[in-house]
Amino acid sequence: MSALDTALHGLRTLIADGALRPGDRLPSEGELCETLGVSRGSLREAIRMLAALGVLDTRHGSGSYVSELRAADLIGSLSLTVGLLPMAGVLELTELRRVLEPHAAALAAARIDASTIEELSGVLDEIEASDDFEDHSRLDHAFHMTISEVAGNDALTSLIDVLRSRSRAYRIPDAADAAELKLHSDAGHRAILRGLAAADPVAASAAASAHVAQTEYWVRRYTDADAPAPVAALESAPASESAPASAPASE
């Protein structure tokens, strides 16, 4: 085990065992180095890594403190690494979404109110009227994340946000395929909204499952499992001038 690993493991153990609780200030570097048996350099690097993951909060001139350790915040820090995944990784994330998003839709169907239904309907009107990739991606994300937020579980919302974050960057390069994807996506959104409006958890869940399954189909279609590198064209290739703009692969 490297010195850095030793420092990381030691700090994690102190926090996990309750020796350091949320809000506690870390002991001095000298004390921690002696306790963990590591150098100051290794300790500082471990602290920086845990701060990047949201486990520690480093305050200039004050020291480092254990964060609140909220599940949603710690899950959200996964976006630092999820954002590096190639297309094959996006496929795995989409498969996870097929489990989580229907559950979120079912929870939301039991809790959603009329004003939020109206808000979501307005978002879908904008999505259906737009052929701009950036607008469509932003509005699509807002639609799904609103549903997750209504579900009422912050950790679930954060996880869905992380899973969707990478796939939002990918585009379908073929104009005809992009148009077909958007057609199915728009219909899928409306089916989810109907389930929510009817306060029917089963219908909302089934619609969300079918919707993500459609996304998975397109991601799988454009994933080459044997490719040694990410399929860059899915991020950058524009549609032809005579066809609709390429659609995001994250519907």
- Percentage of the chain lying above the pLDDT 90 cut: 65
Structural element, H or E, at residue 59: strand 56-59
Do residues 145 and 157 make contact, with C-beta atoms less than 8 angstroms apart?
Answer: yes
Residues 214-226 have a mean pLDDT of 76
| Residues 149-193 pLDDT 10s | 999 999 999 999 999 987 776 677 788 888 888 899 999 999 999
Residue 8 banded pLDDT, cuts 50, 70, 90: very high
Count of helices and strands (H, E) across the chain: 12, 2
User: CA-CA distance, 160 to 104, in Å (whole number)?
Assistant: 9
Choose between 226 and 113: higher pLDDT. 113
The mean of the pLDDT values for the chain is 87
What's residue 68's pLDDT? 94
User: CA-CA distance, 154 to 160, in Å (whole number)?
Assistant: 10
Give me the phi and psi of 248, to 5 degrees please.
-70, 150
Do residues 38 and 7 make contact, with C-beta atoms less than 8 angstroms apart?
Answer: yes
Q: What pTM does this model have?
A: 0.80
